[in-house]
């Protein structure tokens, strides 16, 4: 038997702050918003008072993962939101589940140069510009997190070792790799690639968080600058 639908309190007025939330979202990204605010922006098209409805929804249902067992009509009946809003909530819950599964699988893999290429290929090799990424590792050489170091490449931007090591150290990584793409399709490292790798490896060794490898990827394959 389905649980009884909770009664939502009647609202006298709606807080006029959604525009502020949208501006904050555009300026600082979704991580700057709380659960209630994110849900409010998700359901705003279907509910007259999205912020207070979202607060009630989060209080009743908790995080999105707890919503997945429901069908849209049942979730709408349970929470009091329109069925169209319930459908979008369930889509987000399923996307979150799949994303977390993909991350968990990715983090179980020891990153050899070939695995770095597998990781980077769908993200970088079709781009028309260079991007440099750092991949943080645990003590077993498995991926724990990743972040973009620069957009524009090593040769066209000024990247200092501290720009990479600062975030890596904040992640408490046991070691890290660097990977960047060559839009030309040729993964052969340039002189700037090798000089940057050498400087970063020396600085990383001093910090006790070694640079394990630097892999250049392209449509035609990859090259490891540090593997024997």
- Residue 38 pLDDT > 80: yes
Residue whose entry in the numeric block shows the structure tokens 């290929």: 121
Query: Do 83 and 120 reside in the same domain of the chain?
Result: no
Of 73, 105, 137, which marks where a domain is finished?
105
Asked whether residue 2 is assigned to any structural domain, the reply reads: no
Asked whether residue 1 is assigned to any structural domain, the reply reads: no
What pLDDT score does 8 carry?
Answer: 38
Strands laid side by side in the 221-224 sheet: 143-151, 131-137, 175-181, 211-218, 221-224
What pLDDT score does 7 carry?
Answer: 40
Report how far residue 158's alpha carbon sits from residue 86's, in angstroms, rounded to the nearest whole number: 47
- Residue 1 pLDDT > 90: no
Query: Do 140 and 210 reside in the same domain of the chain?
Result: yes
pLDDT tens-place string over residues 127-169: 888 999 999 998 888 888 888 888 876 655 567 888 899 999 9
Lowest mean pLDDT among 12-21, 106-115, 188-197: 12-21
> 146 lies in which domain range?
113-224
Query: Do 53 and 127 reside in the same domain of the chain?
Result: no
Query: Do 121 and 185 reside in the same domain of the chain?
Result: yes
Asked whether residue 7 is assigned to any structural domain, the reply reads: no
Q: DSSP H helical segments within 49-176, as ranges?
A: 50-61, 72-79, 83-107, 113-124, 161-170
Asked whether residue 214 is assigned to any structural domain, the reply reads: yes
Of 69, 86, 105, which marks where a domain is finished?
105
pLDDT tens-place string over residues 64-99: 556 666 777 777 777 777 788 878 878 877 777 777
Query: Do 219 and 121 reside in the same domain of the chain?
Result: yes
């Amino acid at each position: 038997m389905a649980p009884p639908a909770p009664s939502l309190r009647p609202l006298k007025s709606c807080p006029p702050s959604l525009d502020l939330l949208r501006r904050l979202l555009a300026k600082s990204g979704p991580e700057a918003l709380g659960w209630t605010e994110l849900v409010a922006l998700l359901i705003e098209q279907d509910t007259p008072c999205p912020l207070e409805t979202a607060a009630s929804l989060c209080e009743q249902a908790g995080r999105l993962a707890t919503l997945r067992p429901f069908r849209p009509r049942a979730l709408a009946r349970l929470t009091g939101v329109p069925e169209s809003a319930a459908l979008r909530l369930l889509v987000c819950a399923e996307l979150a589940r799949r994303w977390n599964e993909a991350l968990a699988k990715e983090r179980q893999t020891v990153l050899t140069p070939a695995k770095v290429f597998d990781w980077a290929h769908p993200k970088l090799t079709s781009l028309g510009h260079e991007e440099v990424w750092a991949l943080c590792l645990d003590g077993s050489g498995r991926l724990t997190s990743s972040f973009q170091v620069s957009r524009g490449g090593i040769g066209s931007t000024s990247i200092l070792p501290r720009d990479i090591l600062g975030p890596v150290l904040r992640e408490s990584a046991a070691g890290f790799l660097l990977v960047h793409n060559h839009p030309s399709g040729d993964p052969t490292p340039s002189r700037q690639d090798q000089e940057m790798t050498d400087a970063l490896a020396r600085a990383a060794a001093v910090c006790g968080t070694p640079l394990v490898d630097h892999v250049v990827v392209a449509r035609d394959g990859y090259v490891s600058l540090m593997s024997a």
